């Protein structure tokens, strides 16, 4: 008895694959059953012995639905005795025998149904023999057609499984590389921060060193809280940069001013973890530190068509010419380029250019537009209002 129609319900369990397979099998064999019924009705009418559609279906359908019942058996035999090179002779013998057995069963069912519906004067054994011999070519073809289709479906399923496995391996490899790059960045940032604190100690600025150590402690807690995430909301990334620059301002005092500006709606965008910190660090080291004059760093976030654009500008001395084309750059920028390439490929970029009037440096990071993470709430220590000078 066939299962009742599947109903769509928001809380209903997912459909059973075996149940769906049976429905597909029955539906597939219903097609030749319907065609045979139509053929019988047409020929009976042409020979002036009309037959109703119901009686014709009752005579023709049992044989075809016997094939529906045999289909899982044929598929199982195909998997148990595959037609590969190593076992092909034995498997061919098994399948020929199974084909003859299936043909005999289909002939028996079809002859019995025909005898019941049409009341043939011939003996049942004679009818079975006639059905078996006359239908042998078609039944043999049907058996091996089912076998071939099953092989094609299983091969396609194995190919999809291999493709999914390859995708999983590629994702795992990318994740491992990103984790390695992230772990490389953390000690690099830590060493540079400690060097800045050592400079304060050498200058006998004890309060500044203590304050810097406190900020460094907060930064390390933030980096540990991020854990293994490769992306964070932009608001969290800006908060991390704000604390880093607050530590730098202890060292440089009035020589360093920072300004933030962000378009509406971009603070919830996902960005790579620590993507701004190396760029900001370069602005401090190469733009602010070499000069005794006051300097400023501008950090902006905006949308440009389908991209999120992050810009870090300084008005200092600028980077050496060989850094502009990326041929010679430090760990931070090289790390940033590698992470962008792994995560987004050609859809992202990091460009380093001289600023306006040939002063300072403009570092621009372009990321593909992403969905805002409205569900992610700002951290407990919210970033300062953007577009406000620090």
> What residues contact residue 163 under an 8 Å CB cut-off, 6+ apart?
none
Backbone phi and psi for residue 365, each to the nearest 5 degrees, phi listed first: -110, 125
What is d(CA 383, CA 378) in angstroms, rounded to the nearest whole number? 8
User: In a structure prediction context, what are the per-residue pLDDT tens digits for the chain, which is 390 residues long?
Assistant: 333 333 334 344 444 444 548 888 888 899 988 998 888 888 877 877 788 888 888 888 898 999 999 999 999 998 888 887 667 788 888 999 999 999 999 999 988 988 888 776 778 888 888 888 988 999 999 999 999 888 888 888 888 888 887 787 666 556 655 555 554 545 656 776 787 788 888 888 888 888 888 888 877 776 666 555 678 899 988 988 888 888 888 778 888 999 999 987 899 999 988 889 888 888 888 888 888 889 999 999 999 878 999 999 998 876 666 665 555 567 678 878 888 888 888 899 999 888 877 788 999 999 997 644 443 333 333 333 333 333
**Would you state the structure tokens that stand for residue 12, as one six-digit string?**
């209903």
Partners of 102 in beta bridges = none
Reported as type and span, the H/E element at residue 298 is strand 295-304
pLDDT in tens, 309-321: 999 999 887 666 6
CB 284 within 8 A of CB 312: no
Do the bridges between strand 295-304 and strand 256-262 make them parallel or antiparallel, or are there none, so unpaired?
Answer: parallel
101-119 CB burial, b ≥16 within 10 A, e <16: ebbbbbbbbbbbbbbebbe
Structural domains of the chain sorted by starting position, each given as residue range(s) with its CATH number in brackets: 17-167 (no CATH), 205-368 (3.30.565.10)
CB 178 within 8 A of CB 228: no
What is d(CA 181, CA 304) in angstroms, rounded to the nearest whole number? 28
| DSSP letter assigned to residue 96 | H
What is d(CA 304, CA 309) in angstroms, rounded to the nearest whole number? 7
- Using alpha carbons, select from 341, 299, 370 the residue that is nearest to residue 178: 341
What is d(CA 44, CA 53) in angstroms, rounded to the nearest whole number? 11
What is d(CA 54, CA 246) in angstroms, rounded to the nearest whole number? 87
- Residue 355: strand, helix, or coil: coil
pLDDT in tens, 17-33: 445 488 888 888 999 88
What is d(CA 344, CA 303) in angstroms, rounded to the nearest whole number? 17
């Amino acid at each position: 008895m066939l299962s009742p129609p599947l109903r769509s319900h928001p809380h209903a369990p997912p459909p059973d694959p075996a149940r769906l397979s049976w429905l597909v099998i029955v539906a597939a064999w219903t097609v030749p059953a319907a065609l045979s019924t139509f053929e019988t009705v047409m020929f009976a009418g042409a020979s002036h012995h009309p037959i109703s559609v119901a009686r014709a279906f009752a005579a023709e359908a049992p044989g075809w639905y016997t094939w529906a019942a045999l289909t899982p058996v044929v598929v199982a035999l195909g998997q148990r005795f595959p037609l590969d090179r190593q076992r092909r002779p034995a498997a061919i013998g098994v399948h020929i025998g199974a084909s003859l057995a299936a043909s005999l069963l289909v002939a028996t069912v079809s002859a019995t149904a025909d005898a019941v519906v049409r009341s043939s004067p011939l003996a049942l054994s004679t009818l079975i023999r006639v059905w078996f011999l006359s239908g042998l070519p078609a039944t043999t073809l049907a058996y091996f057609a089912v076998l071939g289709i099953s092989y094609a479906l299983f091969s396609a399923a194995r190919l999809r499984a291999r493709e999914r496995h390859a995708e999983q391996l590629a994702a795992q490899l990318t994740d491992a590389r990103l984790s390695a790059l992230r772990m490389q960045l953390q000690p690099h940032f830590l060493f540079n921060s400690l060097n800045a604190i050592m400079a304060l100690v050498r200058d006998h600025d004890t309060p500044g060193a203590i304050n810097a150590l406190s900020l460094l402690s907060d930064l390390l807690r933030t980096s540990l809280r991020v854990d293994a995430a490769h992306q964070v909301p932009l608001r969290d990334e800006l908060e991390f940069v704000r604390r880093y620059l607050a530590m730098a301002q202890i060292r440089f005092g009035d020589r360093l001013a920072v300004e933030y500006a962000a378009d509406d709606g971009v603070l919830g965008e996902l960005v790579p973890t620590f993507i701004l910190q190396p760029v900001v660090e370069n602005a401090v080291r190469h733009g602010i530190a070499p000069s005794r004059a006051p300097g400023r760093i501008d950090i902006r976030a905006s949308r440009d068509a389908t991209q999120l654009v992050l810009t870090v500008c300084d008005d200092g001395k600028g980077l050496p010419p060989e850094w502009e084309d990326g041929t010679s750059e430090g760990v931070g920028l090289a790390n940033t380029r590698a992470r962008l390439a792994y995560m987004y490929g050609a859809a992202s970029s990091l460009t380093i250019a001289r600023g306006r009037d040939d002063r300072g440096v403009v570092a621009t990071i372009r990321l593909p537009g992403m969905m805002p993470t409205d569900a992610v709430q700002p951290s407990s220590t919210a970033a300062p209002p953007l577009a406000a000078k620090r």
